[in-house]
Amino acid sequence: MIGVLVSGEGSNLQALLDASLPVCAVASNRAGVRALERAAAAGVPGSAFELSEFADRAQRDATMANWLQEQGVRLVVCAGYMHLLTPQFLDRFPDRIVNVHPSLLPEFPGARAIDDALAAGVETTGVTVHLVDQGLDTGPVIRQEPVPVQPRETLIQRIRAVEHRLLPEVVSELCVR
Ligand code: GRF
C-alpha cells in the first residue's frame, strides 16, 4: 500500500493513480493544494500536515508517519514533496521511501533543478527516481533517464512526461518486493 507525499500540483500523484497503483493515503505539507483535490477525486484519503501547526519538524513528521501507518502505508513516494524528511520519519519506513527528481542526480539537486540545468548550459539533463535519505536529493539512485535540453521551450513538459512514466514503473516494481 502506497502513501504519497505532495506539496502542490500533484501531477506525479495523478500518474500513480492513473497507473492504478494501490495509493491508500496522500499527505501534504500544505493545505488546499491541487494534489489533495486529486486525491479526493480519486477517493483516496488525504490530509495536510502544515509545519505551523506543530512544535517542530520532528513532531510534524512523527504525526504524519503515524497517520500514514494507520492508513496501511508500506511504501512512501515523495511526488513533488518540497520538504526534507527528518530521521524520525525515515526510521519509520526504512529503505521504503522514494523520490522523483527532475535532473540526473547527483547533478542539480534541490528545488530549482531544471533552472539550474538551463543556467549551467548542459546539453542533457533528465529524471532520477531514488531512495530517500537524510540529504537533499542524495539517496541511492534506482533509475535514471536522460532528457535533451533542446528545445529549451519544451524542456519542462518533456521532463514531466518522463517523470510520469518512470515513477509509476519504478513504484510498481517496488510494490511487488
Ligand atoms: C516534479 O518535477 C518533481 O520531480 C519535483 O517537483 C515537481 C512537482 O510536480 N520535485 P507535481 O506536484 O508532481 O506536479
Q: What pLDDT, on the 0 to 100 scale, is given for residue 176? A: 80
> Has residue 177 got a pLDDT over 80?
no
Of 9, 17, 84, 159, best ligand 1 pocket probe by most atoms within 8 Å of the beta carbon: 9
The pTM of the full predicted model, rounded to 2 decimals, is: 0.96
The residues annotated with a catalytic role in the active site are 101
Give the span between the Cα atoms of 141 and 121, in whole angstroms.
Answer: 24
> Has residue 90 got a pLDDT over 80?
yes
What mean pLDDT do residues 152-158 have?
97
Amino acid code (one letter) for 16: L
